[in-house]
Amino acid sequence: MLDVIPAFKAAGAFSTIGRMGTKGVTTLGDLTKTMSRASGRRLIQLKQAGHAGLNSVKQAAANAGDRISPSGLQPEFAGASGVGGESFVQNVKNTFQKIASNDGIKKASKVDSRDITKNNNQMEINKRYSDIERFRERMGYGKYSSDSGNTVACIKINDETFYGVNSSISYESKMKTIQMRRKWFKEISWAPPKAVKPKHLGYTQSLSHAEAHSLLQAYEKLGKMPSRVTMYVDRPTCGICLGELPIILRHIGVKELIVYSGGRNEPVIIKAIK
């Protein structure tokens, strides 16, 4: 009953019963029936007043909780078996105090949006790592191993996923990507930040890594990249990529690359060099 009656008026219902008497009340069920008979009209009025405002509810509920005590009830009710006397009154007071402190309103109805975002983000991370595992299986590359020396990366843009692999993952991959690597070796302006213009692919090893492969595949197909891209890689991103990817990002128009790698849940942020 207390759930449907505004807390700040409930004390008035007890007062009404106190004036009319509670003779014969021995259980909580009897109390409910008595309140229904004694103050039906009062309850309807209280329900209509239930939207008086949260601040008023909090203040009045706190006041009501302070006023309720066994001495305010009929003697036969205060000591009745099945009701609990002091214990029952304390439970009622606790209910009012909880409402007054807003615990029963805010905590029950408001979910922290940060928790939702965090959970959704974790689900996305797990999904992308699983996608990489399935890609490996589909391509026959075998499961990732830190000793294998091969890497798979993926990015998703406009509902399309682009997988990149390092050139040594298979002979077919090496032959398939050689032309792409040679093309971008010539087109990208490496110096600065490099002190001098690289003489051959050996000086730009990031072009043979999975991270660059996935980015360049997407750029070649889409023509325009978003300013921010999220990438997932099954191997921890190496120092070579951390040093050279900012140059590639500048060339393809990506300002920031968010990289989840090596099964980690915390990303590395790589920004395009200016």
As a three-state string, the secondary structure of 16-32 is HHHHHCCCCCCCHHHHH
The pLDDT tens digits for 6-64 are 444 444 444 444 444 445 545 545 545 554 554 455 545 545 554 454 455 456 545 55
**CA atoms 143, 147, 150, 154: torsion sign:** positive
Q: What is the pLDDT of residue 257?
A: 98
Q: What is the pLDDT of residue 33?
A: 56
User: What is the band of 134 on the pLDDT scale with cuts at 50, 70, 90?
Assistant: very high
Q: What is the pLDDT of residue 116?
A: 74
- The answer to whether 67 touches 14, Cβ cutoff 8 Å, is no
The pLDDT tens digits for 79-94 are 444 445 566 556 656 6
Nearest CA to 188 out of 117, 254, 250 is that of: 250
As a whole number of angstroms, the distance between CA 222 and CA 155 comes to 13
Percentage of the chain surpassing pLDDT 90?
A: 42
The pLDDT tens digits for 139-180 are 999 999 888 889 999 999 999 999 999 998 988 888 888 889
Arithmetic mean of pLDDT, 202-221:
95
